[in-house]
């Protein structure tokens, strides 16, 4: 292959990858409102940082908010300046970092597993966790992406001994620290040490402790931590003690789940590739054991490294008393890279696959079919509405079509088409989610329409929530861009104001208002909320 041909192929690969990343991560990111409590809260903090031009102390309604470091707020503030204050801009940091992971997987595998780079990049991009968290205004992708790039740079340094790669390891680890704190270097250190011990090369951890790299890490990460501590003496207690140590060791934030919680989370995170991923893990463990038993000289340790990376991240957060799905997002990219390496070996061997392999492909096709079929039911499930008769027919047809498409593409064109066929199904799934599922989620769980309703009644009125979910409070805070009082905290405005209350709850709070006038003026049926005008 000529140099010119190689460049053309590289350019074509990157254009295809960029187009896929745009569709999977960016398209539709602004079409639905901010969801839950975290998205609007983080977005509001970034908005206030942008408005105040205070790049050190994150603030919510003017009060220091020190639960998380600053990386997301910095990046979202810049996005707000470029795109305006909207949902797309709030999610832009996560989408761009998801794309960074896909491109990092491409260049990493291009160097260490030539021929599998597009599989690695596109499979990583087309996994459920990457797509889902790319559409979230949260800190999860802010940790996962720099951590992934850092670990890939570390392995590349381990194999090539090129110091600039080790420098990049420290720089991206610093970004991970600015995203979520000391968990990034702690996990990275454990993975490096464990890998060295597993390879009977414990000195690799000592070689990793490179003074110029450590200085780079401190140069990137340390200034903000020093400045925020100087401006907010409570920072160490709030962030380190309460939101790192206490969150890990206690149930203070009520995110308790069983120890095995992350097993199903990982299975869902790797959809629709889950069954192939399980096969890749089984085969990877078997290869690792054989290589150790036979002391294979040409084994570069990549399989071992990826398996340890996955296990250590999942095990670390499984031990934690506080568990949320996004915590194990840093374990998803190595899952997909391991899977791509597995498929490449299957292609390279060019062996005649037995009935077990084709049964696995058929089951994978069933998963793809089931995914598309379920998405047709999802809007009615979210709305708790009865299914129309034709939805069963549509789901059956689209499921059967997806199953036949994936299976026939592999049967007729070979295993090389598995990635393309599954990617096509994933693209259709994302289209269905954005166009069909998310409008129902938006109506049920976002405060965007409620904020528009409140603003339409009186755009300048004080607003309070009464027994409503915290998602409502933080959502209105963002969409109205003002503090929201809460009756439960005793924050009852003394003047006229709008109250957002759970439907049929008026008797439980009416007594707090004494003789003040209370008039019901609106109703949000989907969120089961009522609007009241409270007189002086």
For residue range 276-297, list pLDDT tens digits in order.
Answer: 999 999 998 888 877 766 655 4
Q: Helix, strand or coil for residue 257?
A: coil
pLDDT computed for residue 251 by the predictor: 66
Per-residue CA distances from 14 to 19, 341, 488 (Å): 8, 19, 53
The yes-or-no verdict on residue 193 having pLDDT over 90 is: yes
pLDDT computed for residue 269 by the predictor: 95
- Characterize 261-281 residue by residue with b for buried, 16 or more Cβ atoms within 10 angstroms of its Cβ, and e for exposed: bbeebbeebbbbbbbbbebbb
Which of 397-404's residues contact partners 24+ apart within 8 Å by CB, and which partners? Answer: 398/369, 398/372, 398/373, 399/369, 399/370, 399/372, 399/373, 400/369, 401/369, 402/365, 402/368, 402/369, 402/371, 402/372, 402/373, 402/428, 403/365, 403/366, 403/368, 403/369, 404/365
Confidence of residue 2 (pLDDT cuts 50, 70, 90): low
Confidence of residue 322 (pLDDT cuts 50, 70, 90): confident
Task: Write the pLDDT tens digit of every residue in 252-273.
Answer: 656 678 888 999 999 999 999 9
pLDDT computed for residue 248 by the predictor: 66
Do 501 and 370 lie in one domain? The reply is no
Q: Are strands 462-466 and 497-502 parallel, antiparallel or unpaired?
A: parallel
Mean pLDDT of 392-402: 93
How many other C-beta atoms can be found within 10 angstroms of the C-beta atom of residue 296? 11
Q: Are strands 485-486 and 518-524 parallel, antiparallel or unpaired?
A: unpaired
Which of 159-162's residues contact partners 24+ apart within 8 Å by CB, and which partners? Answer: 159/112, 159/300
pTM of the predicted protein model: 0.94
Locate 461 and state its tokens.
Answer: 């009125």
Domain with 493 in it:
448-534
Cα 426 to Cα 417: distance, rounded to the nearest angstrom:
14
Cα 260 to Cα 314: distance, rounded to the nearest angstrom:
10
Mean pLDDT of 425-453: 93
The yes-or-no verdict on residue 91 having pLDDT over 90 is: yes
Domain termination residue (choose one: 349, 371, 406): 349
Do 421 and 485 lie in one domain? The reply is no
Residues in the chain: 536
**DSSP-assigned letter for residue 55:** S
Closest CA to 111 of 150, 144, 160, 167: 160
Confidence of residue 122 (pLDDT cuts 50, 70, 90): very high
Do 172 and 229 lie in one domain? The reply is yes
Do 233 and 372 lie in one domain? The reply is no
Give yes or no for a contact between 235 and 191, defined as CB atoms under 8 angstroms apart: no
Least confident of 302-306, 321-325, 493-497, 498-502: 321-325
Mean pLDDT of 439-467: 91
Do 439 and 457 lie in one domain? The reply is no
pLDDT computed for residue 297 by the predictor: 47
Q: What is the domain count for the chain?
A: 3
Do 359 and 276 lie in one domain? The reply is no
Do 332 and 433 lie in one domain? The reply is no
pLDDT computed for residue 485 by the predictor: 95
Alpha-carbon 61 to chain mean position: 26
Confidence of residue 5 (pLDDT cuts 50, 70, 90): confident
Domain termination residue (choose one: 445, 461, 478): 445
Closest CA to 275 of 344, 362, 345, 353: 362
pLDDT computed for residue 522 by the predictor: 85
Do 441 and 456 lie in one domain? The reply is no
How many other C-beta atoms can be found within 10 angstroms of the C-beta atom of residue 92? 24
Do 380 and 513 lie in one domain? The reply is no
Task: Write the pLDDT tens digit of every residue in 210-243.
Answer: 999 999 999 999 999 999 999 999 999 888 887 7
pLDDT computed for residue 1 by the predictor: 46
How many other C-beta atoms can be found within 10 angstroms of the C-beta atom of residue 251? 13
Cα 25 to Cα 434: distance, rounded to the nearest angstrom:
11
Do 161 and 288 lie in one domain? The reply is yes
Alpha-carbon 292 to chain mean position: 35
Mean pLDDT of 151-165: 97
pLDDT computed for residue 525 by the predictor: 81
Task: Write the pLDDT tens digit of every residue in 348-371.
Answer: 766 556 677 888 899 999 999 999
Domain termination residue (choose one: 293, 324, 349): 349
Do 411 and 266 lie in one domain? The reply is no
- Going 153 to 133 to 304 to 278, the CA torsion angle's sign is negative
Do 250 and 127 lie in one domain? The reply is yes
């Amino acid at each position: 292959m000529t140099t010119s041909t190689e460049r053309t192929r590289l350019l074509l690969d990157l254009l295809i990858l960029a187009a896929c990343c745009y569709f999977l991560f960016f398209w539709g990111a602004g079409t639905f409102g901010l969801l839950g409590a975290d998205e609007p809260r983080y977005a509001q903090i970034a908005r206030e940082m942008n408005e105040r031009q205070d790049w050190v102390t994150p603030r919510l309604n003017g009060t220091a908010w020190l639960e998380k470091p600053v990386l997301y707020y910095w990046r979202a503030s810049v996005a707000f300046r470029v795109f305006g204050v909207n949902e797309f801009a709030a999610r832009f940091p996560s989408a761009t970092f998801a794309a960074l992971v896909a491109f990092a997987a491409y260049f990493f595998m291009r160097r260490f597993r030539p021929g599998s780079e597009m599989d690695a990049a596109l499979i990583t991009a087309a996994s459920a966790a990457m797509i889902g968290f790319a559409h979230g205004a949260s800190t999860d992708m802010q940790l996962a992406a720099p951590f992934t790039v850092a670990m890939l740079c570390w392995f590349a340094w381990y194999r090539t001994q090129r110091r600039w790669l080790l420098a990049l390891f420290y720089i991206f680890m610093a970004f991970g620290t600015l995203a979520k704190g000391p968990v990034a270097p702690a996990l990275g250190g454990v993975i490096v040490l464990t890998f060295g011990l597993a390879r009977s090369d414990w000195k690799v951890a000592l070689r990793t402790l490179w003074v110029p790299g450590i200085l780079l890490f401190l140069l990137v990460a340390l200034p903000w931590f020093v400045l925020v501590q100087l401006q907010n003496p409570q920072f160490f207690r709030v962030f380190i003690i309460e939101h790192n140590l206490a969150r890990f060791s206690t149930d203070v934030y009520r995110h308790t789940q069983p120890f095995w919680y992350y097993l199903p989370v990982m299975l869902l995170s790797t959809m629709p590739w889950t069954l192939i991923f399980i096969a890749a893990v089984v085969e990877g463990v078997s290869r690792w054991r054989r290589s150790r038993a036979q002391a294979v000289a040409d084994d570069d340790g990549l399989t071992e490294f990826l398996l340890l990376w996955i296990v250590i991240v999942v095990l670390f957060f499984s031990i934690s008393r506080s568990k949320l799905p996004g915590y194990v997002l840093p374990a998803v990219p190595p899952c997909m890279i391991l899977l791509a390496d597995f498929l490449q070996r299957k292609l390279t061997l060019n062996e005649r696959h037995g009935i077990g392999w084709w049964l696995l492909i058929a089951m994978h096709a069933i998963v793809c079919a089931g995914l598309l079929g379920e998405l047709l039911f999802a809007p009615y499930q979210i709305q708790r509405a009865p299914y129309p008769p034709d939805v069963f027919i549509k789901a059956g047809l689209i499921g059967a079509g997806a199953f036949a498409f994936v299976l026939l593409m592999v049967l007729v064109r070979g295993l090389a088409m598995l990635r393309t066929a599954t990617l096509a199904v994933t693209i259709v799934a994302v289209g269905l989610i954005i166009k069909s599922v998310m409008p129902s989620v938006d109506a049920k769980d976002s405060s965007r329409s409620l904020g528009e309703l409140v603003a339409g009644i009186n755009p300048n009125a004080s607003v309070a929530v009464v027994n409503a979910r915290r998602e409502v409070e933080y959502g209105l805070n963002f969409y109205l861009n003002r503090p929201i009082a809460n009756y439960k905290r005793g924050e009852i405005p003394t003047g006229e104001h709008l109250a957002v209350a759970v439907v049929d709850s008026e008797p439980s709070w009416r007594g707090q208002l004494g003789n003040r006038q209370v008039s019901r003026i609106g109703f949000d049926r989907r969120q089961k909320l009522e609007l009241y005008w409270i007189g002086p």
